Amino acid sequence: MCGIVGYVGTEEAKDIIIDGLRRLEYRGYDSAGIAIVNDGSIIVRKHVGEIINLEKLIGNEKISGNIGIGHTRWATHGAPSDLNSHPHLNEANSIAIVHNGIVENYIELKAMLKEKHNVSFKTETDSEVIAMLIGAYYEGDLKEALLKAVSIIRGAYAIAAVAADNPNELVAHRKDAPLIVGIGKGCNFVASDFSALVKHTDDVYLLENDDTVILTRDSIKILDANEKQVQRTLMHIGWSAEAAEKGGHEHFMMKEILEQPAVVKETIKRRLNEDGIIEFDEIKIGLNELKSFDKIYIVACGTAYHAGLIGRYAIENMVKIPVEVDVASEFRYRNPLVDEKTLFIAISQSGETSDTLAAIKEAKGKGARILSIINVVGSSVARESDDVIYTWAGPEIAVASTKAFITQIVCLHMLSLYMGRLVGTISNRHYEEFISEMLKMPEKIDEVLANRSEIEEYAKDLYSREKVFYIGRGLDSAVCLEGSLKLKEISYINSFAIAAGELKHGTIALMDPDTIVIALATQDKLYEKMLSNIQEVKSRRAHVITITKDKNRSISDSSDETIYIPDCLDELTPLLSVVPLQLFAYYVAKERECNIDKPKNLAKSVTVE
Ligand code: M6R
């Protein structure tokens, strides 16, 4: 997914922009570039491949200037190449732009620009038309030219632009693509996501659709769609620069796994008042509206979908409303039965997943109330939602989602408790007991993490196997899906998760001595049933690793290895049982020398369908 950074201030723009681009690397990209206004002209340097290539290209070259823009590109129109990389220039090399999104009518705009303005295009991109359009309309006022350009562009875009003859002003605009404004001291920024700015500021304005912003080093002017000056909500993000660094860890993934006790604590703390009551200031749904919902959809992708499966159990148990959980890429193609009586819950770490966004639009169009659970403040999903619950997991950089998942589950539990209390479907006693158990979870996750060397040993023994099955029942089967996804995405092992009761309907045929079976047996009510399933695979000579509660010591006789998690409520076991699965995936991938934080073929935010 493309990334934008823009800076205007008193320091060297080049260094600040390249640092910002580095912090956006996790989103995935195939080329990078910068444009710096320097003494009446614009210096552009861009290179295909990693940012290091761009830095090598620049080498010791002095590119001085206090205003500039930068970009990491993920190719859509035109192959990844030096030429197709952003920034793009107009015909006279006097305007530079960076662009995220798509110009849908670029072919017709190209033809018009060639014919009427006699410009010659140098790249295969759709984005170059934006530079050419602004150049064609520019008469000394960059904002005016940008507004004229976007008035005839169709598509989705976040654009930042600078002009050679104005070293004091950076102009940007957004429509259906995220863009935030960072408020610095003696400097200001634009960026596609907050991670780029984490070193410089904690305060941002979230731009709305069709907003234009004019930045100088000491002023920020935001215009709405009617070109009227407006004040947008100031958000204090509260992420430290260290939170986005590896902090001595070999990989972000391990750092993020280890952060889970702290982020769970934070996610709970932010919503619990002094009397131990859950308050969701961010939810504006009243009692009557809540009572009017006859159905809830939870829709998400990948790991977030797995959190949704766990959320279904929580909400149905506490609120007694039927819940359906769907993968976002399927949802809108099955003409879902959504109306004004539907509460639609979207879950997304990034808030930029295009399938999830499309599903939200589908549900919104049919009258549903949209509530989202997301991690990245100001992201597109947040903007499309009526109510937003932030997970407060801090920046998640590794492609494999870990701490975001665990905080999504916490939010879903808190939401179901909150709704259950409001509509009266749970007793005060149950409510209080559940919260008191939840508050113990950070410490219990710590206990699981403390035993990680044991899991590392198992991984060292088993990393070369090519077939891994995850089996479980009830909530455990949702956690199995997550464990399996973690393993396949970072270690490239062919793994498969199945509800244990389904084994005998076909999959058991695959069991043999080369197979690893990771069996989750954490649900008290289903424990004996799981024991039978474990025996079934064991008797086919599969290698079985069981994860169960501390109290179930006798299970060790039926397994090759047993990993114990602290005793807790059945409903809360996913917060513990997923941790050994994350660790197993991590250590196996490490043994196999995989690129753990950036697995092949994957990006952190999936912004294409
Ligand atoms: O940002 P989102 O939560 O919407 O992303 C959804 C999936 O793309 C994501 O969870 C993906 O499956 C992860 N790589 C899993 O680790």
pLDDT for 555 equals 86
Share of the chain above pLDDT 90, in %: 80
Between the CA of 285 and the centroid of ligand 1 the distance, in Å, is 27
pLDDT for 282 equals 83
DSSP for 341-368 reads: TEEEEEEESSS--HHHHHHHHHHHHTT-
- Residue 348 beta carbon below 6 angstroms from any ligand 1 atom: yes
- Residue 328 beta carbon below 6 angstroms from any ligand 1 atom: no
Q: How far apart are CA 138 and CA 134, in angstroms?
A: 6
> Residues in the chain, how many?
609
pLDDT for 286 equals 87
Contact 584, 453 (CB under 8 A): no
- Residue 484 beta carbon below 6 angstroms from any ligand 1 atom: no
Domains in the chain: ranges and CATH: 3-244 (3.60.20.10), 252-439 (3.40.50.10490), 448-591 (3.40.50.10490)
Between the CA of 607 and the centroid of ligand 1 the distance, in Å, is 11
b/e for 280-315, b at 16 or more Cβ within 10 A? beebebeeeebeebebbbbbbbbbbbbbbbbbbbbb
pLDDT for 607 equals 67
Q: Which atom of ligand 1 is nearest to the CA of 356?
A: 4
What is the chain's alpha carbon radius of gyration, rounded to the nearest angstrom? 26
Tokens of 252: 């972000």
Average pLDDT of the chain, as a whole number: 93
| pTM, 2 dp | 0.84
Between the CA of 418 and the centroid of ligand 1 the distance, in Å, is 26
Q: How far apart are CA 301 and CA 381, in angstroms?
A: 13
Residue 281's pLDDT band (cuts 50, 70, 90) = confident
Catalytic option among 14, 143, 598, 604: 604
Specify the DSSP element, H or E, that contains 460: helix 452-462
If you average pLDDT over residues 61-82, what whole number do you get?
Answer: 90
pLDDT for 608 equals 63
Active site residue 301: no
- Longest CA pairwise span in the chain (Å): 81
- Residue 278 beta carbon below 6 angstroms from any ligand 1 atom: no
Instruction: Characterize the bridge pairing of strands 203-206 and 234-236.
Output: antiparallel
Q: Which atom of ligand 1 is nearest to the CA of 604?
A: 14
Between the CA of 355 and the centroid of ligand 1 the distance, in Å, is 11
- Residue 599 beta carbon below 6 angstroms from any ligand 1 atom: no
Residue 243's pLDDT band (cuts 50, 70, 90) = confident
pLDDT for 68 equals 97
- Which amino acid residue places its CA nearest to atom 4 of ligand 1? 348
pLDDT for 609 equals 64
How does pLDDT run across 177-230, given as a tens digit for each residue?
A: 889 999 999 999 999 988 899 889 989 998 989 999 999 999 999 999 999 999
Q: Is the pLDDT of residue 418 over 70?
A: yes
How does pLDDT run across 330-389, given as a tens digit for each residue?
A: 998 888 899 999 999 999 999 989 899 999 999 999 999 999 999 988 788 988 899 999
Of 285, 316, 276, give the one whose Cα is nearest residue 298.
316
- Which amino acid residue places its CA nearest to atom 16 of ligand 1? 400
Active site residue 604: yes
Q: How far apart are CA 555 and CA 551, in angstroms?
A: 10
